[in-house]
Amino acid sequence: MSLRRILATALRIVQQFSRDGRTLVLILVAPLAVLLLLNSALSGKAPEVTLGVVADATSFSPAAFSQMENQLKTIDRVHVVMIDRDKVDQDLREGKADGVLLTPQETDPPTSLVLRVEGSDPATAQRLRLIVEQAAKGFQPNAPAEPASVRTEYLYGGKEYTETDALAPYFIGLFDFLFVFLLSSVAFLRERSQGTMERVLVSPLSRSELVVGYLLGFTIFALLQALMIMFFVIGVLHIHYAGSLVLLLLVTLLLTIGAINLGIFTSVFAKNELQVIQFVPLLLVPQILLGGLFFPVRSLPVVLKQLAYLFPVTYANFALKDVMVRGFGLAGIWTDVVFLVAFAVLMVGAAVLSLGRRRAFP
């Protein structure tokens, strides 16, 4: 062993790193950025919840109710809103409340409270149940002898609806985006490095034909992947599933088109496969962290929330969850679809333009 040769090798490695500023920034700064994101997203431990309350029953003493309401209001990250009895499900659907506490009507025993939760996020539903059950212990409307009991009802999902059920829609979107982005980016990079891109560019094949060709080829595999995940989660994991397969494939298709073209576009800025991988923490990790998989987008800090609303994966997650858990139709997810279409169009444009850097004719 020669120390000199070892040092010469080490020096060469240092020189190579210092000539590659991007890798340097990546290994030094990216972990901090990811930690920062995680920290601010995790800072509120329990999910923020909005509890609606229906308090119109005559059998119910206003004094007792306001006592409970005050108690609820003191809990951190809980908002209390008043809701009309005939608009409970509508308000839950529109996200005005995550759960509604219904006071007993004339015909009910005075101590039976009903908590009706939206149900698509198990963590939120769980927290609401705990809060309400806690509050109910000190709630003794007319008959001081027995504490009130709480019965929980679900708008979507149900008691058996678990975290896995809730996460399944996110995995479809994430896997699709991750794989399609990486594969198309690397494939395009290879076209450049092995010289086939030049050969294609001097042929009659136009830029847009090339991009659409890539799109078709990749879409086949992306849809196949989505179907595989679907059948696995429904057939093998027996995941709660309420929606339309066609809509699910539509959302996947739109996300795929965006991801392929983002891949093509970013491949221009990468000199080798390693540099493609470097885009993962930059472009993908924030989408994974903030897109709703780990924390509900609504309860993110303001800055991160606005960031999340720029990400295509967030919208795909919204749409896939609405379709799979809530069984929404196209009318229910159209805003997400519009955003995904816009993203796809933008990325196709960017991809076509990025190819033109080398060729003078269109």
Partner 1 sequence: MVEPSLPPVIAEGVSKDFGSLRALREVSLSVSSSEIFGLIGPNGSGKTTLIRLLLGLGRPTRGSLRVLGGIMPDRRVSSQVGYMTQASALYSDLSVRQNLSFFGRIYGIRGKDLQERTSEVLALVDLSARTESPVNCLSGGMRQRVSLAVALLHRPKVLFLDEPTVGIDPELRLSFWTYFERLAAEGVTIIVSTHYLDEAKKCHRLALLRAGRVLAANTPRGLLEESGEAEFDEAFLYFASRREGARE
Report which DSSP code applies to 297: G
Could you tell me the smallest distance in angstroms from the CB atom of residue 218 to partner 1? 16
Q: How many Cβ atoms are within 10 Å of 3's Cβ, its own excluded?
A: 7
Q: Does residue 73 interact with partner 1 by CB under 8 A?
A: no
Q: Least separation, in Å, of the C-beta of 207 and partner 1?
A: 11
- Contact in structure between 314 and 290 (CB atoms under 8 Å): yes
236 makes contact with partner 1 (CB under 8 A): no
Please pick, from the candidates 28, 32, 302, 360, the single residue that binds partner 1 as defined by CB under 8 A. 360
Among 70, 162, 194, 335, binds partner 1 (CB under 8 A): 194
DSSP letters, 227-261, are HHHHHIIIIIS-----S-HHHHHHHHHHHHHHHHH
| Contact between 198 and partner 1 per CB under 8 A | yes
For residue 267, the minimal CB distance to partner 1 (Å) is 16
Q: How many residues does the chain have?
A: 362
Q: Which phi and psi (to 5°) does residue 78 adopt?
A: -125, 125
Is residue 9 involved in binding partner 1 (CB under 8 A)?
no
Q: How far is the CB of 197 from partner 1 (least distance, A)?
A: 8
Instruction: Tell me the closest approach of the beta carbon of residue 243 to partner 1, in angstroms.
Output: 38
Per CB under 8 A, does 138 bind partner 1? Answer: no
Among 109, 195, 217, 329, interactor with partner 1 by CB under 8 A:
195
What is the Cα–Cα distance from 109 to 102, expressed in whole angstroms? 13
Cβ nearer to partner 1, comparing 156 with 214: 214
Binding mask 14-53 for partner 1 (x = CB under 8 A): ----------------------------------------
Q: Which two tokens stand for residue 235?
A: 């057939």
137: contact with partner 1 by CB under 8 A? no
In contact, 350 and 207? CB cutoff 8 Å = no
Least spacing, CB of residue 47 vs partner 1, in Å: 47
Residue 17 Cα distances to 23, 62, 73, 174, 286, angstroms: 7, 70, 55, 31, 25
204 near partner 1, judged by CB under 8 A: yes
User: Does 217 engage in binding with partner 1 (CB under 8 A)?
Assistant: no
Q: Which of 200, 222, 229, 262 forms a contact with partner 1 (CB under 8 A)?
A: 200
Measured CA to CA, the distance from residue 335 to residue 338 in angstroms comes to 5
Is residue 272 involved in binding partner 1 (CB under 8 A)?
no
Q: Mark 177-194 as b/e (b = at least 16 C-beta within 10 Å).
A: bbbbbbbbbbbbbebbee
Pick the stretch among 101-109, 151-159, 197-205, 260-268 that binds partner 1 (CB under 8 A). Answer: 197-205
Q: Strands 149-154 and 78-82: what pairing?
A: unpaired
C-beta closer to partner 1: residue 43 or 361: 361
| 355: contact with partner 1 by CB under 8 A | no
CA distance 268 to 264: 7
> Total number of residues binding partner 1 (CB under 8 A)?
17
Helix axes 122-137, 163-194, angle to 10 degrees: 150
- Residue selected from 15, 203, 272, 335 as contacting partner 1 according to rule CB under 8 A: 203
CB 164 within 8 A of CB 87: no
- Asked if 162 touches partner 1 (CB under 8 A), the answer is no
33 vs 292: CA distance, rounded Å: 18
Piece in contact with partner 1 (CB under 8 A), picked from 8-16, 75-83, 192-200, 282-290 = 192-200
Question: 3-class DSSP state for residue 316?
Answer: helix
Find tokens 């198990």 and name the residue. 122
Residue choice 3, 63, 145, 202 for contact with partner 1 (CB under 8 A) = 202
Q: Which residue has the tokens 């609303």?
A: 309
Residue 162 or 203 having the CB closest to partner 1: 203
For residue 243, the number of C-alpha atoms closer than 13 Å in the C-beta half-sphere is 27
Between 79 and 190, name the residue whose CB sits nearer to partner 1. Answer: 190
Binding residues (CB under 8 A) for partner 1: these are 194-196, 198-206, 358-362
